[in-house]
């Protein structure tokens, strides 16, 4: 047994014997303990802070005396005077081991600290960013051993940090000359390590020790909106968020209309590429301003998007994605220089990582959802539905993961709906219909009050009640079914048949009035028969996609449904089930994952190892192409009924009663809602 002092690190529990006089940082490195250091033990970065513990530790079989570490030294005193060290803290590179000791590494001193994601699943992200800072002392040039600045910097990185293959672009090479001399041959280098090639690229250099942070940006590039999250690459904390409408909307609301725009207009794809790159630059400016940091310190970006947006961002014509066999220019992940895609609002030597696409219709955004929700690690069979203009679905468990996309169209986003609008203040987002009086109550975005509550008028006087958004139309249609105003086939009844004057004629069909301000020259917000048809088409496509995946998996049930996407976060699971958007499961098994694609982008930004993981996962995902599956049409037609023609939804029927009404032509003529025998 060694006579050298025993060192025990917590929370890792790693332990080992080290000679007296060994710095704590050196011991930590030998034991592979997660203790940070940017300056390489020179006593200037303060990243290596530790907390020694004294006394009896029977758990570790150690008794720690007060002098187990060397005395507080002048370097620590200098740092404490300048910046202040928390009480009980020491610098790991300065404190030396005298005798047995227990040392705690606080979370902020861990390189791979964990960041808890604030979401239903409380997913933990382990920090290990692709871009890191290294402080080095570089040899001065020497007449006798002539070598360049870059070569001597590479040598220093190898000797001091064991970093081998280093590259440098021209911009940083130009900076290097003055930076080295200004810092008296001390320099901080930001290195981006490519996880595939293991080559480290110099992305920024600073004279001396760079103490400000470095940042990355996670971008969820959707066809309707673009969202960006600015992240501290050291702590993983989100410092600012911003969103913007995708300016490509002016070229076409949905993806296929943008593909058509590109087909029909020479230079159309280039125009769309330019507009989306400009929008991302605006977003980068916004988040940098909000967090009050220099744009130049944003060194990395991770981007997730659907295949059409992927091609348009990269400047690739998306025309091939508009026709079978939907061939992508590449489905692999991409690591690009930020200047290659004109992201000049971030550091121009910075790097952009774009997640791999799963297939021609299932993009990097679905890969990001897979990274965030990890269906391939689940014991339960999970169906993940990312609802947007095009729904992307993943079905899987530990045995297998399948993916497809389904052409739902934009109805779930409030488009193609007579009173539809985007989710914005004034849009109706929640609806309830009293089954007895048949009267509605609703809530709008921007107010917490229901429309029948005191103060609603005043609370909404500024924003008004302007239309109905995606979650609102889903609730409205489901509530019409629950209140007996619409039958299983989706037909609305007349005022006579339903007993409410809110049902008004609309051509040869009927509409249900939710809110009428025509007497004040305001809008009349209704749900028309056409709206219901649009929702039926969208939900049938979604359900048929899920059904095809279940067939491929050989199952006729799923254990859990995860609703992803910003919109998924607002869908009421009960109403989605009443509509038959998703297969029948217990309501507590339907959860919202919020913006899972955005979370996946954040994970890929914070943890470089996750990139290799998702690239591997995507290669293993089985793709199901709904467009060529002969059964799609059959499933689509059966799913037109609300909730479904043949699937009986037993779990749903335990919690709601679906009125057995029919408003077919004959019953409309009779003027009564005819009771039908339940099948």
Under 8 Å between Cβ of 129 and 607? yes
The least distance separating ligand FES from the CB of residue 25, rounded to whole angstroms, comes to: 6
Decide if residue 48 touches ligand FES (CB under 6 A): yes
- Give the integer Cα–Cα distance in Å for 173 and 149: 9
Stretch that binds ligand FES, among 35-43, 399-407, 428-436, 649-657 (CB under 6 A): 35-43
Query: Of 41-49, 59-67, 178-186, 641-649, which part binds ligand FES (CB under 6 A)?
Result: 41-49
Under rule CB under 6 A, which residues in 64-103 are in contact with ligand FES?
Answer: 91-93
**Per-residue binder mask for ligand FES (CB under 6 A), 7-26, x = binder:** ------------------x-
Which of 8, 24, 45, 259 touches ligand FES by CB under 6 A?
Answer: 45
Q: Determine the 3-state secondary structure of 186 from DSSP.
A: strand
41 binds ligand FES, rule: CB under 6 A = yes
Position 39 contacts ligand FES (CB under 6 A): yes
Q: Which one of the spans 39-47, 522-530, 549-557, 596-604 is the region binding ligand FES (CB under 6 A)? A: 39-47
Q: Which is nearer to ligand FES, 43 or 530 (CB)?
A: 43
- In this chain, which of 6, 9, 46, 293 binds ligand FES, going by CB under 6 A? 46
Q: Are 635 and 565 in contact (CB under 8 A)?
A: no
CB of 213 to ligand FES, least distance (A): 16
The Cα–Cα gap between 511 and 497 comes to 13
Complex with ligand FES: residue 113 or 539, whichever CB lies closer? 113
Provide the minimum distance between the beta carbon of 450 and ligand FES in the complex, in angstroms, as a whole number.
Answer: 57
Can you read off the two tokens belonging to residue 55?
A: 């006394």
Which among 37-45, 341-349, 515-523, 592-600 is the span making contact with ligand FES, rule CB under 6 A?
37-45
Measured from the CB atom, is 48 or 288 closer to ligand FES?
48
Cα–Cα distance, 373 to 599 (Å, whole number): 9
DSSP type of residue 655: T
Kindly tell me which of 41 and 222 has the beta carbon lying closer to ligand FES.
41
47 touches ligand FES by CB under 6 A: yes
Task: Give residues with Cβ within 8 angstroms of 483, minimum separation 6.
Answer: 433, 434, 435, 438, 659
Residue closer to ligand FES (CB basis): 49 or 406: 49
Rank residues 133 and 563 by Cβ distance to ligand FES and give the closer one.
133
Angle CA 399–565–129, to nearest 5: 75
Binding mask 144-183 for ligand FES (x = CB under 6 A): ----------------------------------------
Rounded CA-CA distance 180/194 in Å is: 25
Residues 436-455, interacting with ligand FES (CB under 6 A): none
Taking CB under 6 A as the rule, does residue 37 contact ligand FES?
A: yes
- Give the chain's length: 679
Segment contacting ligand FES by CB under 6 A, of 40-48, 114-122, 347-355, 530-538:
40-48
- Helix, strand, coil proportions of the chain in percent (round to 5)? 35, 25, 40
Classify each residue of 387-406 as buried b or exposed e, where b means 16 or more C-beta atoms within 10 Å of its C-beta: bbbbbbbbbbbeebbbbbbb
As measured in angstroms, the least distance from the Cβ of 36 to ligand FES is: 8
- Please tell me the distance from the alpha carbon of residue 85 to that of residue 195, in angstroms, as a whole number: 35
First to last CA, the chain: 80
Mode of pairing for the β-strands spanning 622-623 and 400-406: parallel
Q: How far is the CB of 45 from ligand FES (least distance, A)?
A: 3
Q: x-or-dash pattern for ligand FES, window 399-418, by CB under 6 A? A: --------------------
Please, what is the minimum distance in Å from the beta carbon of residue 136 to ligand FES? 12
Select from 45-53, 184-192, 317-325, 374-382 the region that touches ligand FES (CB under 6 A).
45-53
Q: Which of residues 265-294 bind ligand FES (CB under 6 A)?
A: none
Kindly state the number of chain residues that form the binding site for ligand FES, as judged by CB under 6 A: 14
Smallest gap from Cβ 93 to ligand FES, in A, equals: 3
Number of H helices, E strands in the chain: 19, 31
By C-beta, is 91 or 341 nearer to ligand FES? Answer: 91
- Compare residues 89 and 310 and give the one whose CB is closer to ligand FES: 89
Name the minimum Å distance from CB 22 to ligand FES. 14
Shortest Cβ distance from residue 106 to ligand FES (Å)?
14
Per DSSP, helices labelled H in 12-99 are 24-30, 74-82
Q: Which residues of 181-220 are buried (b: 16+ CB within 10 A; e: fewer)?
A: eebebbbbbbbbbbbeeeebbbbbbbbbbbeeebbbbbbb
Give yes or no for a contact between 318 and 262, defined as CB atoms under 8 angstroms apart.
yes
3-state secondary structure 355-410: CCCCECCECHHHHHHHHHHCHHHCCCCEEEEECCCCEEEEEEECCEEEEEEECCHH
Complex with ligand FES: residue 22 or 242, whichever CB lies closer:
22
29 vs 674, beta carbon nearer ligand FES: 29
Kindly give, in sequence order, each residue whose CB lies less than 8 Å from that of residue 621, ignoring residues fewer than 6 positions away.
Answer: 358, 370, 394, 396, 401, 402, 403
For ligand FES, the binding residues (CB under 6 A) are 25, 37, 39, 41-48, 91-93
């Amino acid at each position: 047994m060694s006579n050298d002092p025993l060192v025990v690190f917590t929370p890792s529990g790693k332990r080992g014997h080290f000679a007296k006089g060994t710095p704590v940082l050196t011991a930590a490195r030998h034991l592979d303990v997660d203790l940070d250091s940017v300056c390489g033990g020179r006593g200037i970065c303060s990243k290596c802070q530790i907390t020694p513990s004294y006394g009896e530790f029977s758990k570790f079989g150690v008794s720690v005396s007060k002098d187990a570490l060397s005395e507080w030294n002048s370097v620590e005193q200098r740092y404490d005077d300048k910046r202040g060290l928390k009480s009980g803290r020491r610098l790991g590179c300065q404190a030396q081991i005298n005798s047995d000791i227990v040392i705690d590494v606080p979370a902020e001193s861990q390189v791979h600290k964990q960041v808890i994601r604030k979401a239903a699943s409380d997913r933990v992200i382990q920090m290990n960013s692709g871009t890191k800072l290294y402080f080095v002392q570089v040899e001065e040039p020497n007449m006798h051993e002539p070598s360049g600045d870059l070569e001597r910097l590479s040598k220093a990185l190898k000797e001091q940090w064991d970093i081998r293959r280093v590259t440098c672009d021209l911009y940083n090479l130009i900076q290097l000359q003055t930076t080295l001399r200004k810092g008296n041959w001390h320099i901080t280098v930001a290195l981006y390590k490519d996880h595939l090639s293991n080559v480290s690229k110099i992305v920024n250099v600073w004279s001396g020790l760079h103490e400000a942070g470095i940042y990355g940006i996670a971008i969820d590039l959707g066809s309707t909106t673009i969202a960006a999250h600015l992240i501290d690459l050291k702590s993983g904390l989100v410092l600012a968020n911003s969103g913007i409408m995708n300016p490509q909307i002016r070229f076409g609301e949905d993806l296929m209309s943008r593909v058509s725009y590109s087909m029909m207009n020479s230079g159309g794809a280039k125009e769309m590429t330019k507009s989306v790159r400009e929008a991302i630059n605006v977003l980068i400016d916004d988040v940098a301003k909000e967090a009050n940091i220099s744009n130049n310190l944003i060194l990395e970006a991770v981007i997730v998007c659907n295949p059409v947006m992927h091609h348009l961002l990269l400047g690739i014509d998306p025309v091939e994605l508009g026709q079978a066999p939907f061939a992508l220019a590449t489905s692999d992940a991409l690591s690009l220089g930020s200047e290659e895609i004109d992201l000049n609002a971030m550091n121009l030597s910075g790097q952009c990582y774009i997640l791999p696409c799963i297939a021609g219709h299932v993009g990097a955004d679905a890969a990001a959802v897979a990274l965030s929700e990890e269906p391939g690690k689940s014991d339960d069979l999970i169906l993940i539905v990312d609802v947007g203009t095009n729904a992307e679905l993943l079905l899987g468990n530990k045995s297998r993961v399948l993916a497809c996309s389904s052409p739902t169209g934009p109805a779930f986003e409030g488009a193609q709906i007579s009173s539809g609008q985007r989710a914005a203040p004034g849009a109706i987002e929640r609806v309830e219909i009293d089954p007895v009086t048949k009267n509605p109550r609703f809530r709008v975005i921007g107010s917490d009050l229901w429309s029948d509550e005191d103060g609603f008028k005043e609370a909404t006087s500024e924003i008004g009640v302007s239309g109905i958004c995606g979650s609102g139309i889903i609730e409205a249609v489901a509530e019409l079914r629950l209140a007996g105003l619409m039958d299983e086939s989706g037909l609305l009844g007349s005022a006579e048949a339903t007993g409410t004057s809110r049902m008004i004629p609309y051509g040869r069909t009927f509409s249900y009035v939710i809110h009428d301000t025509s007497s004040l020259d305001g809008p009349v917000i209704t749900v028309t028969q056409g709206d219901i048809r649009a929702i039926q088409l969208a939900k049938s496509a979604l359900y048929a996609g899920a059904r095809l995946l279940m067939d491929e998996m050989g199952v006729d049930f799923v254990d859990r449904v995860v609703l992803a996407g910003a919109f998924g976060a607002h869908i009421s699971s009960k109403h989605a089930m009443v509509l038959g958007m998703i297969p029948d499961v217990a309501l507590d098994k339907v959860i919202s994952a919020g913006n899972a694609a955005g979370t996946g982008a954040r994970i890929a930004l914070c943890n470089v190892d996750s990139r290799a993981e998702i690239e591997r996962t995507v290669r293993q995902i089985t793709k199901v192409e709904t467009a060529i599956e002969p059964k799609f049409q059959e499933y689509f037609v059966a799913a037109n009924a609300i909730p479904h023609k043949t699937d009986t939804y037993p779990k749903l029927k335990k919690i709601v009663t679906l009125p057995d009404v029919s408003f077919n032509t004959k019953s409309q003529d009779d003027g009564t809602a005819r009771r039908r025998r339940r099948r």
